[in-house]
């Protein structure tokens, strides 16, 4: 005989596969509350946990009220690409000549190229893939850690990717936000690993591992992809998330501490970029 379907402990008429990451009780989408350590039931996510309670319904899409920077970054990247495509006197070639990552130019002192290259993309597909990934990964991290720490994480991961490309790459031209995107991916991967003992956490972690494997294999199947930037950004994001995890949750200075940690990683990446 088949086992009876699992239903929400607060709504007996709703079948669900979700469960509270703290008490383990089954919960439906309406009862789910997003917290720093996963999804919780309303009781476990109450004020005594000192966590910010966000209903699952409000998590259905990103908006400027909760994730301003993620959407601003997408808008800036798209706007820069359109300027290069439509402006007759300042096309993509001119932008790359001035702002793309190029080993000899950085070695000559133009270190800022490791940052400005994050906002350039070589094709519509390149832009679309990176912005889709930013839309997918960015809002949840910005909600969880705060807008300023999220921005510092994004910057540090992008610089980390540029640093590894400068150290190990061929010295060719490089553009794109892939290093920063992989940094966000690394931070999410570490969070999913900590929650892997829950049913939902295990499913998310498995999906992220599969997605990571596919993306890391792409440079070996498609030419012109800077795998060094991907790995550098991934490592930077995981290092930052690991350090953030050691901070007290909800402390009075946690936002400042997160930002300082990410900026220290960005400074280390910038130092490697210059010296490499």
Q: Which of 92, 121, 126, 230 is catalytic?
A: 230
pLDDT at residue 59 in the model? 44
Long-range pairs, 218-227, Cβ under 8 A, ≥24 = 225/178, 226/161, 226/165, 226/169, 226/174, 226/176, 226/178
Residue 1 lies in a domain: no
With beta carbons less than 8 A apart as the criterion, state whether 57 and 30 touch.
yes
Does residue 137 sit in the same domain as residue 109?
A: yes
Pair of tokens at residue 103: 């080993």
197: domain range?
68-275
Top pLDDT among 221 and 68 is at 68
With beta carbons less than 8 A apart as the criterion, state whether 186 and 262 touch.
no
Does residue 52 sit in the same domain as residue 83?
A: no
Q: Which of 60, 170, 178, 206 is catalytic?
A: 178
Q: Is 11 a catalytic residue?
A: no
Does residue 97 sit in the same domain as residue 46?
A: no
Residue 45 lies in a domain: yes
Tell me the pLDDT tens digit for each residue of 205-234: 777 788 777 777 776 766 667 788 999 999
Q: Is 178 a catalytic residue?
A: yes
Does residue 169 sit in the same domain as residue 261?
A: yes
Mean pLDDT to the nearest integer, 68-84: 94
Residue 2 lies in a domain: no
| Global pTM value | 0.74
Instruction: Out of 8-12, 18-22, 266-270, give the one with best mean pLDDT.
Output: 266-270
């Amino acid at each position: 005989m088949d086992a009876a379907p699992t239903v929400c402990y607060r709504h007996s008429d709703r079948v669900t596969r979700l469960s509270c990451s703290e008490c383990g009780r089954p919960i439906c989408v309406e009862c789910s509350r997003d917290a720093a350590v996963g999804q919780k039931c309303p009781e476990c996510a109450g004020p005594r946990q000192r966590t910010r309670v966000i209903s699952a319904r409000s998590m259905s899409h990103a908006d400027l009220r909760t994730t301003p920077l993620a959407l601003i970054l997408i808008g800036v990247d798209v706007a820069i690409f359109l300027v290069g495509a439509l402006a007759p006197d300042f096309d993509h070639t001119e932008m790359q000549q001035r702002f793309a990552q190029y080993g000899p130019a950085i070695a000559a002192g133009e270190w800022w190229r490791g940052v400005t290259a994050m906002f350039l993309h070589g094709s519509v597909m390149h832009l679309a893939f990176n912005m889709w990934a930013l839309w997918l990964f960015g809002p949840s991290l910005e909600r969880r850690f705060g807008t300023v720490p999220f921005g510092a994480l994004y910057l540090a991961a992008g610089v980390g990717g540029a640093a590894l490309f400068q150290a190990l790459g061929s010295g060719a031209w490089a553009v794109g936000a892939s290093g920063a995107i992989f940094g966000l991916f690394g931070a999410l991967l570490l969070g999913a690993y900590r929650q892997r003992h829950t049913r939902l956490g295990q499913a998310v972690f498995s999906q992220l591992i599969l997605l990571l494997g596919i993306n890391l294999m792409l440079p070996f199947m498609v030419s012109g992809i800077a795998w060094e930037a991907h790995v550098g950004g991934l490592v930077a994001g995981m290092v930052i998330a690991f350090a953030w995890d050691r901070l007290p949750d909800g402390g009075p200075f946690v936002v400042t501490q997160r930002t300082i940690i990410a900026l220290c990683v960005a400074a280390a990446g910038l130092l490697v970029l210059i010296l490499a």
